[in-house]
Amino acid sequence: MSEPSVFTRILRGEIPSEIVAETDNAFAIRDIAPQAPVHLLVIPKTEDYRDVVELAAGDPALLAEVVGLANSVAAEHAGGDFRLVFNTGPDAGQTVFHVHAHVLGGGLTEGSLGG
């Protein structure tokens, strides 16, 4: 059996992190190396899916919950304006193969973060 992901270890309290919101099936943390003034990660509480493509095919309701939680934390922490990014695969910069969404906000500009 593989080791639990860093996100599962955070949820278990094994790795310190600031959990800013949580539902029955997902949680949001503040990124330790932010790429924007507001950079939160929204993560399902399951390791069943390696990326958002698998999640969308396997559990669309959970994907909707992740997006809803992203919207909620963005409203609270970024004034409601945000970019939602899912990295899928190693060439997209995903190093932790577990579904997670990046909520980026707080003064993003047209040229920030590549676009």
Catalytic positions, please? 100
Q: How far apart are CA 61 and CA 63, in angstroms?
A: 5
Q: How far apart are CA 73 and CA 69, in angstroms?
A: 6
**Residue in this structure with the two tokens 């609270």, named with its chain if needed:** 76
* Structure tokens, 71: 């919207």
